[in-house]
A = this chain, B = another copy of it.
Amino acid sequence: MLRVPRSGQQARERLQRAALELYRERGFDRTTTAEIARRAGVSERTFFHHFPDKREVLFAGQDRLRDLLVPAVRDAPYGLGPLGVLLRAFRSIESVMEEGRSYAQPRHELVASTPTLRERETAKLASLADAMADALQERGVAGQRAVLAAHAAMTAFDLAVVAWYEQPAAGLGARLRDAFDDLHGLALEDPDPTT
């Protein structure tokens, strides 16, 4: 069933879905960009217009998350501490996460079971945390505290999303609150870890 995409955005989404389908059917290593383009009903040249290689086609969504999360940190109301700002930022993308779930959940399973993709995912999340740490610093949070807060919050976000994929009923918001509560509880349990 070949439909001609009406727009660049449509072609891009068809390529993303075609790539995911093929990677799940045949494995990431055994799929070529030509096969992805054919499945999406576009030319291989169109593939390379949208994505630099067959790995990056799976990571376009994270660029979009960055474009939402960094301004959310930058524009959060003053008076919140760093973790409060970060939780608020993650909660602001709940509806985007819900809309994207039918793609993102099977994508997550593929990435988690493919070492080369998992490594890329880890690096992308670390880079996203660094961008959020930079945005915290612009708000006046000291460098080391900003990095610690952003990376800890990214781990909490990642755990919350995976728990939500596995059991969607409770909702992503409840999972986020639960993970940030645990992060908070760690400090209470060790009144002074440095003694």
Contacts and interface: CB of A to CB of B under 8 A. Distances in A.
A83 interface: yes
Contacts of A131: none
B147 A155 contact: yes
Which DSSP category, helix, strand, loop or mixed, fits chain A's interface?
A: helix
A181 interface: yes
Interface string A70-103: 0000000000111110110000000000000000
Interface stretch (A8-16, A27-35, A41-49, A119-127): A119-127
Contacts of A52: none
B83 A193 contact: yes
Copies of this protein in the assembly total: 2
Contact of A81 (B83, B183, B193): B193
Contact of A182 (B118, B145, B176): B145
B182 A194 contact: no
B148 A190 contact: no
B185 A145 contact: yes
B180 A193 contact: yes
A108 interface: no
A166 interface: no
Nearest to A142: B182
B159 A147 contact: yes
B84 A190 contact: yes
B123 A190 contact: no
A190 B152 contact: no
